[in-house]
C-alpha cells in the first residue's frame, strides 16, 4: 500500500514542513527529563524521547487527517492537506500512521516498565483524540492530556516512578495546551460552526480571549510551584518571565480574533516552551 515514490506526499501528511507541533510536545518533555534526572539525563533517554516525540506527533497528524478527511476540505486552513485533496487516501494515511507507531514501539525497548505502561496509555489517548472533536465540548482538554503525557513518561523513565512533582508539571502543561490550542481553534471557528465541529473556541464563544489568558495564568502559576519544588535558581525564573511576556504578546495578537493573529499566537508558543526549557537547563548548569 505504501510507496517510496509517494514520500513527498507522506512528508506533507506528517507535517515535516511544519515542525512547531513537534516542538510544542518536545520542550516540556525535555524539561521534565532534565528535572527528573537532576540535570544529567542520559544521552540514550534524550535520543529516545526526541525521536519518540517526532514519530508519535507525525503519526497523530496522519490519524487526524484520516479521521477528518470529510471535513478538512471545507475548512480554509486545512483544505490543501493531502488527504483532503484526495492525493493520499484515508486508508493510506492510517497505514503511514501504523508504520510510524511501529517504529516508535521499538523505542520502548530502551525504557523501563513504568515508562512503557505510560506510553501505552499515551498512545491510546492520542489515537482517540480525533473522536473527541465529535462528542466532547472542549476537545482541547483531551488534547491537553495527550500532549502532556511525555512529562510523566520522562519522570518514569528516569526515576522508575512519577512523583508528585511530575503530576504537578503534567497539570501545568495541560493549561498551556488548552491555551495555545484554543488560539489554534480560533483560526477555524467560523468553519467549525458551519460544520458542527466542537472546539474550545466555539465553547467559550465571546469569552475565548479571557479563557486563553486564564489558562496561561494557570500554567505559569503552577510552573512557579515547579520551580519552588526544584529550588530553582534565577535562570529558571528568567525563562519563566520571558514566557509570561510571550503570553502577554499573544493577547495582543488574539484580541482582534483575526485568523492571522490567532495563528501567529499559536505558532509563537514555541518560544514559551523553549524559554522554560533553556531556563531549566541553565538552572542545572549553575
CATH: 3.30.1360.170, 3.40.50.880, 3.50.70.10, 1.10.357.140. Which one for 9-285?
Answer: 1.10.357.140
68 confidence band (pLDDT: 50, 70, 90):
confident
Which residue from 140, 152, 251, 160 is spatially nearest to 200, judged by alpha carbons? 140
Distance CA 121, CA 149 (A): 9
**For the chain, domain boundaries:** 9-285
Q: Collect all residues with Cβ–Cβ distance below 8 Å to 132 and sequence separation of at least 6.
A: 139, 142, 143
**Cell numbers representing residue 256 in the block:** 482582534
Q: Please state, in angstroms and as integers, the Cα–Cα distance from residue 119 to each residue in 86, 93, 141, 176, following that order.
A: 32, 22, 19, 21
Lowest mean pLDDT across 75-79, 108-112, 172-176, 234-238: 75-79
pTM of the predicted model over 0.85: yes
* Model confidence at 143: pLDDT above 70: yes
Q: What percent of the chain has pLDDT over 90?
A: 80
Provide the phi-psi class of 38: left if phi over 0, else alpha when psi is between -120 and 50, else beta: left
Distance CA 265, CA 185 (A): 11
Which residue from 183, 157, 143 is spatially nearest to 60, judged by alpha carbons? 143
Helix axes 139-148, 20-36, angle to 10 degrees: 50
Q: Collect all residues with Cβ–Cβ distance below 8 Å to 127 and sequence separation of at least 6.
A: 60, 63
Write down the pLDDT at residue 1: 64
Distance CA 112, CA 102 (A): 18
Distance CA 8, CA 112 (A): 35
Which residue from 1, 91, 9, 110 is spatially nearest to 51, judged by alpha carbons? 110
Please classify residue 100 by burial: count the beta carbons closer than 10 Å to its beta carbon, then call 0-12 exposed, 13-18 middle and 19+ buried: buried
Whole-angstrom distance between the N-terminal and C-terminal Cα of the chain?
52
Lowest mean pLDDT across 65-79, 110-124, 257-271: 65-79
Write down the pLDDT at residue 196: 84
Q: Please state, in angstroms and as integers, the Cα–Cα distance from residue 6 to each residue in 18, 26, 79, 122, following that order.
A: 19, 27, 20, 29
Write down the pLDDT at residue 58: 95
How many CB atoms are closer than 10 A to CB 164?
8
Average pLDDT, the chain: 94
By three-state DSSP, how is residue 74 classified? Answer: coil
Distance CA 149, CA 271 (A): 20
Amino acid at each position: 500500500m505504501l510507496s517510496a515514490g509517494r514520500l513527498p506526499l507522506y512528508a506533507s501528511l506528517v507535517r515535516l514542513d511544519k515542525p512547531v507541533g513537534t516542538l510544542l510536545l518536545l520542550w516540556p518533555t525535555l524539561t521534565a527529563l532534565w528535572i527528573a534526572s537532576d540535570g544529567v539525563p542520559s544521552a540514550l533517554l534524550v535520543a529516545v524521547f526526541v525521536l519518540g516525540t517526532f514519530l508519535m506527533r507525525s503519526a497523530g497528524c496522519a490519524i487526524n487527517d484520516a479521521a477528518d478527511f470529510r471535513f478538512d476540505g471545507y475548512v480554509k486552513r486545512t483544505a490543501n492537506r493531502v488527504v483532503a485533496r484526495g492525493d493520499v487516501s484515508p486508508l493510506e494515511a492510517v497505514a503511514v500512521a501504523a508504520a510510524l507507531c511501529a517504529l516508535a514501539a521499538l523505542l520502548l525497548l530502551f525504557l523501563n516498565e513504568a515508562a512503557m505502561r505510560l506510553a501505552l496509555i499515551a498512545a491510546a489517548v492520542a489515537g482517540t483524540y480525533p473522536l473527541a472533536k465529535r462528542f466532547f465540548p472542549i476537545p482541547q482538554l483531551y488534547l491537553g492530556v495527550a500532549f502532556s503525557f511525555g512529562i510523566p513518561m520522562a519522570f518514569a523513565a528516569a526515576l522508575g516512578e512519577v512523583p508528585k512533582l511530575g503530576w504537578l508539571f503534567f497539570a501545568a502543561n495541560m493549561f498551556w495546551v488548552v491555551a495555545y490550542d484554543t488560539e489554534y481553534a480560533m483560526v477555524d471557528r467560523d468553519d467549525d460552526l458551519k460544520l458542527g465541529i466542537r472546539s474550545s473556541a466555539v465553547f467559550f464563544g465571546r469569552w475565548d480571549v479571557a479563557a486563553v489568558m486564564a489558562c496561561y495564568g494557570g500554567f505559569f502559576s503552577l510552573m512557579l510551584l515547579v520551580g519552588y519544588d526544584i529550588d530553582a535558581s534565577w535562570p529558571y525564573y528568567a525563562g519563566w518571565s520571558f514566557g509570561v511576556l510571550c503570553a502577554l504578546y499573544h493577547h495582543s495578537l488574539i484580541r482582534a480574533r483575526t485568523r492571522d493573529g490567532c495563528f501567529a499566537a499559536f505558532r509563537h508558543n514555541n518560544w514559551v516552551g523553549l524559554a522554560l526549557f533553556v531556563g531549566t537547563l541553565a538552572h542545572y548548569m549553575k
